[in-house]
Structure 1
Amino acid sequence: MNTIEKQQRLLAKTLKQLRKKDHIPKDLITLLGETATLQLDSAQNISIDLPDLTLSSLDKQKDDEKGILTPGTLPLDRDHIAAFFSHLIEKITKHATTDPQNRFPGPMVAAAKLIETAYNNKEIDLDRCIDECLQGSGPIMAHWAERTPKAPATLNFLVRAAIEPSLTAGVTALAEWLKKQQHPSNQEIRQTGTCPICGSLPHMLELREKEGFRFAFCSICQHDFRIRRLACPVCDNTDTDKLKFFTVPEEPGFRVETCDICKSYIKTIDFRAFDRESLPSLNDLESLALDFIAQDQGYSRATLSVWGM
């Protein structure tokens, strides 16, 4: 079984688990599931040119709080992103009429139709949208959030979804190059929560192996990297009296870690006691109930999900 087939199998299992959750809208699961399937199907059609890096240039850029690149300089296949963006919009806008029994979220369909018209009329600059998504925000995203108030994250979602296959391919290639070069950024336990590739904060954590090694998943490039076990990944607080976590019986395999210094929380996947593999982008949705509990206790999330929501 090749890598794509393994990912497809894992995606199918995760979607099956998601559909058991009564509090998660079925139309949202359908949307994210079909989007993730499109992303996997397109993964072999990506061409990535790595930036011109040398070990000496990386050492000059090295900073304990930053990555070797910035989000805006991550290697991407922009032609692939443009093609995927158009294909995804078309699929969403036509889905309501071709499959009325299993619709995508209605407000997102309506918003996607507006965005499709504007994009076809060259009113939306996709390259600028890509740059804004990688930076986390910008005037174009803000404009379309106001223009589509019933589904304000639609453009952000569409662009982030289109970027993901290219971003994953580029970051994977870059990480493999760093590993061959035996560069410290690919080997050390990260002393901060920021990504060693792009310097962004994580959107989710995972505990692995019997020792409970702690790994973070970058909210922008989705690179996974090992970090310290007893420290806040957002503010680097190491005062254990200010670091807490909680679980709920209804969400086995998940826990929420909180910090009373920065008042942030981050969810952690711990499937070590279960016969399950993690798929953080969808596990984030599966554990949505924990977000509500953490926010009710006065904590906030430092990043969006990888879906831009």
Structure 2
Amino acid sequence: MNESKINFDNLNQSAPKKKKEKKKKKSTVEPSTRKIPLRKRRFQNGLTVFFYTLFIVMGITILMVIGRYNNVISLANKKEVSETEILQKVEGGQTNADFVSFQGKQWLEQLFTTPTNDKEKEERTKLLENALASDLSLSTIDPVRGEAKTTVKKVESIGQTSDITKGKTIYRTLYDVTFQDQDQVKQVQVALNAIYVQRQMVVIQYPEFVNISSNQTTGNKVRGYENVFKIQGSDVSSEEKNKIESFVKRFLTLYCKNDANLNLISAVSGLDGGQFQSATLTNVVTKKDRIYVQGTFSFSYSGDAVFTSKLVLEMRKNKDSYFVEKMNEKRVQ
């Protein structure tokens, strides 16, 4: 008998076929790393805002400037703006006291400087005389005489007071002056009484030479100020006036050289190293138990330079003599 043979191949064919798994191919494309460029965008937006803001501000500024120009032009057309008013507004920041102080410094620099030639001498004389009141003489106070040789080293304003008299403001400015007389260097304090007229300082009294350390108690057409400084009081007898004049000369002799005996007859210190020349008394009166002496005195340090100073003394009787309380301080009312 023929035995039937089992065909395994057929069996295998009838069986469901298994799907072959396809191998996934590895991707060679890397994931994108690109990002939105937010930073660049912010920068561009900031520039846009900045330029728009700048444009608006400039526009407003231009409009304001144009408005101001229109006001100026309209005022000019109405002739309401004068050159004098503009000058006064510009000088408004500086007071008359400042100008007096500065011009007084220049005046003293010339006074204490000996010119070296005729041209300098002429310019110096003109400057000094133009700043003096017409009733004052430069020859009275000019220290440059003969072979005198003086050179200013420093002039510094150290104080100023003011007083209104006859409708004018009188400025009393105190300066510290360092100068060389021949081979000696001297330091003095000089007070100038002046007013300010037509943008110029005018000296209305002769300079006063003082020593500030001595205080142990606390246009050239101007005339008529001599009486302003004259102290009013009762006249003294001619006999007492002679005694006072003799005492004043003795006092000034000690004062000019700052003698050690000066403190016996006064409460002031001297100029140190000076030599008394002469004195002229113009007013001697008594008032409230005090004796007031006014005038001028001259002195020198060395050589031919002779300085002239205004003199105002406040004295009291001291037994058979006198005692100087104050010298060249603010005038008595």
With a CA cutoff of 8 Å and minimum separation of 6, indicate the structure with the bigger relative contact order: 1
Q: When the two structures are superposed, what TM-score results if normalisation uses the length of structure 1?
A: 0.25
Work out which of the two has the higher radius of gyration on C-alpha atoms and give 1 or 2.
2
**Larger fraction in strand:** 2
**Larger fraction in helix:** 1
Q: When the two structures are superposed, what TM-score results if normalisation uses the length of structure 2?
A: 0.24
